[in-house]
Structure 1
């Protein structure tokens, strides 16, 4: 029994035993590493590829506008996974298994945080106004593959360790440089005649990829048409990126003739309802024309009235209710917003319109030389 136990302890292929057996194998060390790395990459990439294939099969049946944009995001997702595999593999080469299992995920999360501050690395949404740059994707993907290849030659031998680590370090630097030097998310060309528009007092135009929001845009257009005459309505408002000359309503040094734009964020009507409402108030109160009104002298009470009016207009355009987001705005501003949303949810449309018309008239006459 003792002899058997002793024999087992000698022949059992522990970690050092496995290393010795692998070292004695007839397969070249780099080839052996390639098999292991390819197997690891296949296992870790399979769920992602399968999920993407299912999504592709479901979407390809209708081939909606912008369907081709999927390719860039698919490649970028694969790139991020390859970075995670490379970090984990490198940590496994440097540290023992227990320490590497802890350092690898923490190191990858830290890398994401640092690189995402300098350039897009964690892309969570794909708005139609943007597209992934093909050249940047090519540089990033080729550099991370080169880095993975260099990891095949990292050896625990003191003779070759320094040289192999130096080669891997050089390619790692190339990966980082490719990410920082080339923007991966770039502006997309305007859709031209393919744009979808809803006609009314203001033409509201959206990207063809956002066709499913067209009914909500029509509902907002109907509510815009019902606004009283004291409200000045922009002749056209575009979704971001449709018109390269559009302006943000909260910026002052902009072209007064440019059409204001709105953004559809995660499909939330509050996102574009807020932008459209601000654009209407910006023109109504001539916020972009410094010579027309003297808003520097506005009183605290009138500021609160403007905030209430702004919140009411957004809630009115959306159809009432509460926003699907949170804010850390000052308490007095939040109180004014709450009052405006309460008005939009509880009062009749006729009373709301009459109140808003009077508020606009009084505030504008107090601070503006003439109506817009």
Structure 2
């Protein structure tokens, strides 16, 4: 413990701690508050800073590891009675401490936003905490190995850019940006990744001091390469998998029924508001039996749904209910009616859907931006949204006339 504390008090990296704390907390608090009350998104939000902490870890580890290659440092260290591993371990622990404390503090801050309501899904939170931990440990091991292989002026830069390449350019889930209820982090697989990253750090302790010796060392070098390969293999395994439905969804009943994941208990009140707005819709609009959150329904070999609440948007729920109502209302058009409709370049249904979406969302402007639309489609969207601002009787008359016209003209 004493050598560790001595290294912690003497390393220049300790001055980065306040900046790392501020960065971690700022990244968490600057996100929209939709994740409050959702364990999966809480853990994922607290884990996002691991991307930037990993970059710092890789560079700092490479810099720390390369300090021992100087002759005036290398020769006295080689003559010391203590083993190399005992001499290196306190330096490595000090580095890991400096990068993990801000990360775990950030996760604790995120925890405090969701813990008071204690929703279902705490295992999801633990999975994402471990996911970020594994990424940081892997970054430390990667940087340490790079620092031993490259000169001190290039090692930190190569460590940082190498880590950016691994986490961004390649398709890995070392760091994720959200933790929706329809996805489950595998605790066992993530634990294997943490163990593999720890073993890589342990293998780095056996690397010879000095770059010249490192390049000539066969056995320690091979061990480090094997450890790195094992860690890369563990990191390449998908540890966040889609969930396949649930036997106990939360279903809110109204003119239709909205079914949510148990972990989405927070959105029950939102579903009730949207369903309350369906009460005044004209009879021409047919109601589906149920609408489901994404991943709750199996269709063929896929698990699907009508809406996703990844960003906690009421517009997303309104859009899902709108599309389900539209599909039920124009069910007769499935037998060739849509071909006639599309050939005529008619945009009546699009206008109707945008009117209905805005009405179910409670008015205002959409929480998304539409792009890639033709001029006729853009006009239909604006016309539909403008109808939602008119008196209720006029809205219902327009909606009923639109439904009747489409059904008679194309789907009769």
Pick the TM interval, shorter chain: 0.7 to 0.9
- Name the structure 2 match of 1:146: 199
Conserved in 1, the CA contact under 8 Å of 2:271 and 2:317? no
What is residue 188 of structure 2 aligned with on the other side? Answer: 135
Assess if the C-alpha contact under 8 Å between 2:207 and 2:214 holds in 1: no
CA drift at 1:69: 2.3
Residue pair 1:133, 1:186 contacting (<8 A) in 2 also:
yes
1:97 is displaced (CA, Å) by: 2.8
Tell me: CA distance 1:313–1:107, structure 2 relative to 1, closer, same or farther (3 Å). Answer: same
3-state DSSP of counterpart to 1:204: strand
Q: What's the secondary structure of 1:98's corresponding residue?
A: coil
Q: Does 1:38 align with 2:83?
A: no
* 2-structure distance, mates of 1:50, 1:158: 36
SS at match of 1:330: coil
Q: Specify which of 321, 338, 350 is matched with residue 393 of structure 2.
A: 350
Partner of 2:319: 274
- The structure whose RCO (Cα within 8 Å, separation 6+) is larger is 2
Alpha-carbon offset, residue 75 of structure 1: 0.7
Contact 1:150 1:168 in 2 (8 A): yes
* Alignment match, 1:87: 142
- Larger-gyration structure (1/2): 1
Match of 1:361 in 2: 404
**TM-score, with normalisation over the residues of structure 1?**
0.82
Going from structure 1 to structure 2, the CA distance change for 1:37 and 1:352 (only over 3 Å counts) comes to same
Runs of at least 4 residues of structure 1 off by over 6 A? Answer: none
Matched, 1:284 2:329: yes
Q: Secondary structure at the match of 1:226?
A: coil
1:320 and 2:374 are equivalent in the alignment: no
Residue in 2 aligned with 1:24? 79
| Ranges in structure 2 where 5+ consecutive residues have no aligned partner | 1-67
Which residue matches 1:8? none
Q: Which residue of the partner structure matches residue 172 of structure 1?
A: 228
Unmatched tracts of structure 1, length 5 or more: 1-12, 248-252
Shift of 1:79: 0.7
**What is the SS of the residue equivalent to 1:339?**
helix
Q: How does 1:72-111 map to 2 (within 5 A)?
A: 72-111=127-166
Which runs of structure 2 are paired with 1:223-242 in the superposition (5 Å)?
A: 223-241=277-295
Call closer, same or farther: CA 1:14–1:139 in 2, change over 3 Å.
Answer: closer
Q: Is the 8 A contact 1:286 1:293 kept in 2?
A: no
In 2, Cα distance between equivalents of 1:57 and 1:205: 28
The secondary structure found in structure 2 opposite 1:308 is helix
Deviations 1:118-153 (A, max 9, x none): x43321111112211123112212211122211112
Q: Would you say how many aligned residue pairs link Structure 1 and Structure 2?
A: 341
1:295 aligns to 2:310 (yes or no): no
Q: Distance in 2 between matches of 1:261 and 1:299?
A: 23
Q: Is 1:338 aligned to 2:382, yes or no?
A: yes
Distance 1:189 1:92 in 2: 44
User: In 2 relative to 1, CA 329–86 (structure 1 residues): closer, same or farther, beyond 3 Å?
Assistant: same
CA distance in 1: counterparts of 2:301 and 2:282, whole angstroms: 27
In 2: Cα distance, 1:94 partner to 1:263 partner: 47
Residues 334 and 140 from structure 1, CA distance in 2 versus in 1: closer, same or farther, beyond 3 angstroms? farther
